[in-house]
């Protein structure tokens, strides 16, 4: 296939697309604002450009006379549709890409078309919140990875929360959505000439309330086939109603007591590791190859699963600080099929206010879902992101920021964000620092750092105040 495709974005989510292009013998032009992005070196040609800059990306496409453009794993389908329309490539219409980029407009559209979606409103101030029952979720109109997204239980401090959500929105609009209890799913698909091919239905796992942080996913879903078929039917009908005709579509759906709800549908293939790692590991299907075919005007193969395994992803999280060392306790990482760290020694790590702040993934496969989940979780549990001592970022967080967050509470909360109990977490601090209980038992400072920051907080305190 002697063709060239322009890949928008050169981050981790685009690695599978670059790999697929290489497999197919397709030349690649990579575009990203960050010249140090992890997939830059995979591109045959790299051009630095803000991927929101539609005219700038178009100029690059024309300069290199590409045969197609793909925007995988990131919410800028408008760039892809704009360039495709200008250059005559097969594409979902630009107006549809814009509709799919606005949570507010999309929900209004889906509601009018008769789909079940959560009750929601565009809001400008706290008075607008009274239209909805609590708890509710604030979301920026046009962002991904849960940036600026937070659950609210009452109006206290809502003004600041609205402004925070607005700061993550290019349109400066904010959506307030009634929070619905229920199991949440990711549905991933490819679309060719209006035909929708669903290649994944995965269960999503969340933690860190009130932040809606996905700490992993498992596929295939534990739901029975009848419910999954209904989910796929609803998703497929919504994709067609929206007018997505070429490329890909990724949906977040929820099994609620009211029925199967659509939370949102993005005009892209999934980011993170779902489409690029957990799907191929579980099914043997590499959807990014068909994704390239579609955007080059070729007919996709839409291959069905060749293997039927379970795959599970679990995410690494960190309290704020500067990464000093990635330390392992039991070396269980060898049992995972894929481990990726988004951070290197010397990088500043952030609290996981959104999914973009997670610091890595572990993916495992197995003949049972429980086995795959357990293996992936064991790898995460056995990994410590050791922080630099005497660090202002960590100190500020321990003493000031996120006052409501504590990794442990006496009696009330005896497990950390990975599910590690108090006693095991304390043991891991001693293993990591080569200290013992008698060194810290009467040290009030240690207990403050440990209760607030768990294993990381305890190790940081010892490194800073005891080992000096």
Q: Return the pLDDT at 133.
A: 85
Has residue 431 got a pLDDT over 80?
yes
Tens of pLDDT, residue by residue over 245-304, are 999 999 999 999 999 999 999 999 998 899 999 999 999 999 999 999 999 999 999 988
Q: Which range in 7-16, 206-215, 406-415 is most confidently predicted, on average pLDDT? A: 7-16
Whole-number percent of the chain with pLDDT over 70: 98
Q: How confident is the model at residue 176 (pLDDT cuts 50, 70, 90)?
A: very high
Q: Return the pLDDT at 330.
A: 79
Distance CA 159, CA 154 (A): 11
Structural domains in the chain?
A: 4-93 (3.40.50.20), 119-178 (3.30.1490.20), 182-312 (3.30.470.20), 319-334+345-351+371-466 (no CATH)
Q: Return the pLDDT at 331.
A: 58
Q: Note whether 322 and 347 are within 8 A (CB).
A: yes
Q: How confident is the model at residue 468 (pLDDT cuts 50, 70, 90)?
A: low
Q: Return the pLDDT at 410.
A: 63
Has residue 332 got a pLDDT over 60?
no
Task: Please report which helix (H) or strand (E) contains residue 13, including its range.
Answer: none
For residue 117, the 8-state DSSP code is -
Residue with tokens 């990088």: 347
DSSP one-letter string for 299-355? PP--PPPS---EEEEEEE---SEEEEEEEESS-GGGGSSEEEES--TTPEE---SSG
Tens of pLDDT, residue by residue over 155-174, are 877 888 888 889 999 889 99
Cβ-based neighbours of 214, under 8 Å, separated by 6 or more: 146, 204, 205, 206, 315, 355
Q: Return the pLDDT at 206.
A: 92
Q: Return the pLDDT at 1.
A: 64
Q: What is the mean pLDDT of residues 295-322?
A: 94
Tens of pLDDT, residue by residue over 179-213, are 999 999 999 999 999 999 999 999 999 988 888 89
Has residue 5 got a pLDDT over 60?
yes
Has residue 334 got a pLDDT over 70?
no
Q: Note whether 407 and 398 are within 8 A (CB).
A: no
Whole-number percent of the chain with pLDDT over 90: 81
Rounded alpha-carbon distances, angstroms, from residue 78 to 42, 160, 264, 274: 24, 30, 17, 22
Distance CA 405, CA 403 (A): 6
State the pTM of this model: 0.93
Handedness of CA 157, 354, 111, 71 (dihedral sign): positive
Q: What is the mean pLDDT of residues 403-430?
A: 87
Query: Considering the chain, what is the average pLDDT of its residues?
Result: 93
Q: How confident is the model at residue 412 (pLDDT cuts 50, 70, 90)?
A: low
Q: What is the mean pLDDT of residues 25-33?
A: 98
Residue with the bigger pLDDT between 160 and 44: it is 44
Q: What is the mean pLDDT of residues 126-154?
A: 87
């Amino acid at each position: 296939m002697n063709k060239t495709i322009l890949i928008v974005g050169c981050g981790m989510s685009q690695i599978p697309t670059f790999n697929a292009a290489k497999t197919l013998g397709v030349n690649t032009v990579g575009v990203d604002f960050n010249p140090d992005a992890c997939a830059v070196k995979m591109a045959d040609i790299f051009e630095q450009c803000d991927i929101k800059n539609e005219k700038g990306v178009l100029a690059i496409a024309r300069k290199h006379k590409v045969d197609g453009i793909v925007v995988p794993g990131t919410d800028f389908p408008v760039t892809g549709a704009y360039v495709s329309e200008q250059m005559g490539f097969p594409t979902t219409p630009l107006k549809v890409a814009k509709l799919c980029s606005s949570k507010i407009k999309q929900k209004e559209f889906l509601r009018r078309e008769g789909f079940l979606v959560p009750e929601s409103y565009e809001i400008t101030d706290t008075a607008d919140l009274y239209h909805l029952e609590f708890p509710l979720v604030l979301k920026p109109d046009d962002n991904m990875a849960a940036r600026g997204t937070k659950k609210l239980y009452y109006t206290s401090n809502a003004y600041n929360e609205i402004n925070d959500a607005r700061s993550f929105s290019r349109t400066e609009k904010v959506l307030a959505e009634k929070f619905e209890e229920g199991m949440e799913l990711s549905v991933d698909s490819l679309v060719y000439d209006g035909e929708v091919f669903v290649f994944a239905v995965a269960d999503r796992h969340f933690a860190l309330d009130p932040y809606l942080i996905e700490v992993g996913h498992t596929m295939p879903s534990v739901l029975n086939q009848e419910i999954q078929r209904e989910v796929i039917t609803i998703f497929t009908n919504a994709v067609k109603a929206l007018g997505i005709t070429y490329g890909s579509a990724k949906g977040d759906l929820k099994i609620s007591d009211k029925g199967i709800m659509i939370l949102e549908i993005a005009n892209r293939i999934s980011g993170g590791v779902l489409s690029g790692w957990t799907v191929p590991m579980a099914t043997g299907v590499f959807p990014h190859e068909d994704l390239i075919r579609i955007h080059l005007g070729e007919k996709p193969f839409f291959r069905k699963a060749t293997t039927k395994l379970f795959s599970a992803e679990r995410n690494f999280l960190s309290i704020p600080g500067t990464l000093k060392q990635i330390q392992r306790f039991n070396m269980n990482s060898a049992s995972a099929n894929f481990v990726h760290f988004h951070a290197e020694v010397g990088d500043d790590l952030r609290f996981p206010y959104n999914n973009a702040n997670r610091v890595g993934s572990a993916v495992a496969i197995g003949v049972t879902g429980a086995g795959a989940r357990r293996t992936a979780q064991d790898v995460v549990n056995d990994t410590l992101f050791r922080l630099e001592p005497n660090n202002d970022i960590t100190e500020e967080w321990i003493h000031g920021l996120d006052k409501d967050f504590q990794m442990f509470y006496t009696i009330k909360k005896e497990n950390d964000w990975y599910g590690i109990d108090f006693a095991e977490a304390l043991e891991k601090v001693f293993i990591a620092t080569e200290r013992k209980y008698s060194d810290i038992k009467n040290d009030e400072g240690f207990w403050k750092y440990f209760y607030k920051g768990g294993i990381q907080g305890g190790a940081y305190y010892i490194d800073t105040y005891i080992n000096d």
